[in-house]
Structure 1
Amino acid sequence: MDSALQVDRQTLMALAGEARLLSNPPGQIPPGALAGERTSRQQGRGLNFDSLRRYQPGDDVRLIDWQATARLRTPWIRMYNEERERPVFLIVDQRMDMFFGTRGQTKSVAAAKIAGLLAWRSWHDGDRVGSMVFSDAKYSLQKCRSPRQSLPVILDDLLQYNQRLPERYPDESPASVTLSSVLQHASRSIPSGAWVAVLSDFHDLDAESEALLAALRRRCEISAFVLLDDLHLRLPASGDLAASYQGHEAAFSLSPRLKEEIQESITARLSAQEKRLTRIGVRVNQIVVAQDLIKQLQKGV
């Protein structure tokens, strides 16, 4: 099996150790941290009910438990402690557009590995984790559950969807699954306060996708992992090139001026994409698939 084109189970299982090199997701409270050591990572109270105790002068009346007070005929208040677990939800693009890479590995392989690393990170932290892995024609949804329950299923989804891509190549039939449709279906299963990681090249990011991400951002933290190949930065100064995409083919001679225009165009597209996502509160991490994934994640996660 060519590891540059598809992942295997051994690779995904080996990510367990490497996942320990990653820091916690944005805002996550690391295991063993003392209460008050970091600000709450929840958007809201960020507290769990702990116990009841009798009301004492000076207590916040908003904490009175009226049911207990009525039952016991004396004022009681609810005590809380800081919530230390945060659900993690992974949205992983395994469409044909991701089956591209000029060196090292394809974008689809890099996305599967990063998703595996984040899933194993949840395992180590004991956080509930869910996922939606999708291809051009379908998707597989796993709701947030304990990592012991969900991790094996998520790894199976990553394996199956990733390994189908080489079998389908060079089939370039139009995709029926879009980023916006995936976000629409996934949002219903993502609990409030979750950390959401979207792994894609975002080639079909549109106004509907932005609106769905903005709505999700109002109740969750979102990180976008934009997978990209840096071919535009490594083009030769001149030469004959050929390209094909969805049935369209083109051959052209590369000149220094054309090389510069290609670089400027792709750089501008990536910059505009980042601005659109940042504007709605999404944390953007651009991941070059040929470079060390762990080092890039350590900078951005």
Structure 2
Amino acid sequence: MPTSMAVDQGRTRVDLAGLIEMRHRVREIRLFSMPNRGSPLSGVHHSRLRGRGVDFDQVRVYQSGDDVRNIDWRVTARTQVPHTKLFHEERERPVFILAEQSQRLFFGSAHAFKSVVVARAAALLGWACLDHNDRIGGLVFGDRAHHEVKPRRSKQSLLQLFNHLERFSQGLSAADMATPDALVQALRRAREVLRPGNLAIVLCDERGLDDQSEQQLILLGRHVELMLLPVYDPLDRALPVAGLLRFQQSSGQDSAELELDTNADALRAGYAALAQARMMRWQQLAQRLNVMLLPLSSAEDVVDQLRDQLDTRIPGRHR
């Protein structure tokens, strides 16, 4: 019985120990590599300036005023013309993770609740960025509150973010009242605190993209790097053939009940069409902003999904 309860708890809620354990799975995915290897995040970590730094850029003909310590003697000997090495100048990059933990994510029909998927993905990406010497912080937001962590290059900052994720996750309930504009408010706050060159990783419910949140993402994407990770459940995209289903939603003192006959082909087709339109809206937004879109399902392991999606984006990569 205790083992079964622990498994169920891991599928519906997260705890600090589980988020810390995600650090051991960072090596299963590769978000970062040298720019010429096609990393999905290459380019955001280097300035356009070429100066003294740790990453080699290119070799060019020596010019008056160049540092003689950077002369490439092999190329000089081969060409009989002095050549010097140039380097990428490193640029400090704060990473800001926006992780939703709202009532609408407190649902899952298969592997885990969507809120758990968000928390685990946030932990995995947080560890990956910290290992890459980025400053890491973020914003955990729900229906009634949000908590912000200032980006720092320290485990304490990441653990502080995890503590908020755990507290929000443990406090979620099916009886909570959803706040439709939680994502909009979080994105507005991100626009206030983030600066050009920052990376914002947005983990939210796939159904949260509406006119207001889309506009906020467009405004945010004009100034910072973006990664979009909308989370969905299979039932968000397709209704099962299960006969008559009853749904009830409470809003304060009011409640509404809805009955759906899922045996009706037209109903299931219309439901699937709405889901398809939602997916297309995310794709069009990502294309417009030229940012990475990594949808995550609650029916599969987070690490497996990210590894598979990144593999398809980077030609020639092998597991």
TM-score range, shorter chain: 0.7 to 0.9
Residue 256 of structure 2 corresponds to 248
Q: Say whether 1:120 aligns with 2:127.
A: yes
Q: Say whether 1:19 aligns with 2:23.
A: no
1:118 CA drift (Å): 0.7
Once the two structures are aligned, what percentage of the paired residues are identical? 27
For residues 214-236 of structure 1, the C-alpha deviation after alignment (integer angstroms, 9 at most, x for no partner) is: 23222322111010001256643
Gaps of 5+ in 2: 1-5, 54-61, 67-85, 311-319
Q: Say whether 1:298 aligns with 2:307.
A: yes
Residue 202 of structure 2: SS of its match in structure 1? Answer: strand
For residues 17-42 of structure 1, the C-alpha deviation after alignment (integer angstroms, 9 at most, x for no partner) is: 01221212xxx4x3xx5x97776435
Residue 200 of structure 2: SS of its match in structure 1? Answer: strand
1:213 CA drift (Å): 2.1
1:238 CA drift (Å): 5.0
1:121 CA drift (Å): 1.0
What CA distance in whole angstroms lies between the structure 1 residues aligned with 2:43 and 2:100?
30
1:148 CA drift (Å): 2.6
Aligned with 1:131 (options 138, 160, 163): 138
For residues 175-210 of structure 1, the C-alpha deviation after alignment (integer angstroms, 9 at most, x for no partner) is: 275222211112222242122110001434333433
Residue 80 of structure 2 corresponds to none
Q: Say whether 1:213 aligns with 2:220.
A: no
Residue 105 of structure 2 corresponds to 98
1:44 CA drift (Å): 5.1
How many residues align? The count is 268
The one-letter code matched in structure 2 to 1:92 is A
Asked if structure 1 preserves the Cα contact closer than 8 Å seen for 2:98 and 2:201, the reply is: yes
Residue 132 of structure 1: SS of its match in structure 2? Answer: strand
For residues 233-262 of structure 1, the C-alpha deviation after alignment (integer angstroms, 9 at most, x for no partner) is: 664335111122343211232223322222
When residues 96 and 297 of structure 1 are mapped into structure 2, their CA distance, relative to the original with a 3 A threshold, is: same
For residues 271-295 of structure 1, the C-alpha deviation after alignment (integer angstroms, 9 at most, x for no partner) is: 2233234323332211111112112
Asked if structure 2 preserves the Cα contact closer than 8 Å seen for 1:126 and 1:147, the reply is: no
Residue 283 of structure 1 corresponds to 292
What CA distance in whole angstroms lies between the structure 1 residues aligned with 2:200 and 2:48?
19
Residue 203 of structure 1: SS of its match in structure 2? Answer: helix
Aligned with 2:198 (options 188, 194, 199): 194
Asked if structure 1 preserves the Cα contact closer than 8 Å seen for 2:144 and 2:179, the reply is: yes
1:157 CA drift (Å): 1.1
Taking the TM superposition and a 5 Å limit, the aligned residue runs for 1:32-181 are 33=34, 40-42=43-45, 45=48, 58-59=64-65, 81-83=88-90, 85-166=92-173, 169-172=174-177, 174-175=178-179, 178-181=182-185
RMSD of aligned Cα (Å):
2.8
What CA distance in whole angstroms lies between the structure 1 residues aligned with 2:46 and 2:88?
15
When residues 37 and 46 of structure 1 are mapped into structure 2, their CA distance, relative to the original with a 3 A threshold, is: farther
Residue 168 of structure 2: SS of its match in structure 1? Answer: helix
Residue 170 of structure 1: SS of its match in structure 2? Answer: coil
Aligned with 1:264 (options 273, 288, 292): 273
When residues 11 and 253 of structure 1 are mapped into structure 2, their CA distance, relative to the original with a 3 A threshold, is: same
The one-letter code matched in structure 1 to 2:96 is F
Residue 172 of structure 2: SS of its match in structure 1? Answer: helix
Gaps of 5+ in 1: 51-55, 61-78
When residues 80 and 188 of structure 1 are mapped into structure 2, their CA distance, relative to the original with a 3 A threshold, is: farther
What CA distance in whole angstroms lies between the structure 1 residues aligned with 2:122 and 2:102?
15
When residues 289 and 36 of structure 1 are mapped into structure 2, their CA distance, relative to the original with a 3 A threshold, is: closer
Give the TM-score taking structure 2 as reference length. Answer: 0.74
For residues 87-136 of structure 1, the C-alpha deviation after alignment (integer angstroms, 9 at most, x for no partner) is: 22100011111111112211111000100111111232221111000011
Residue 79 of structure 2 corresponds to none
The one-letter code matched in structure 2 to 1:186 is A
The one-letter code matched in structure 1 to 2:219 is A
The one-letter code matched in structure 1 to 2:297 is V
For residues 52-102 of structure 1, the C-alpha deviation after alignment (integer angstroms, 9 at most, x for no partner) is: xxxx96459xxxxxxxxxxxxxxxxxx974216532210001111111111
What CA distance in whole angstroms lies between the structure 2 residues aligned with 1:15 and 1:37?
25
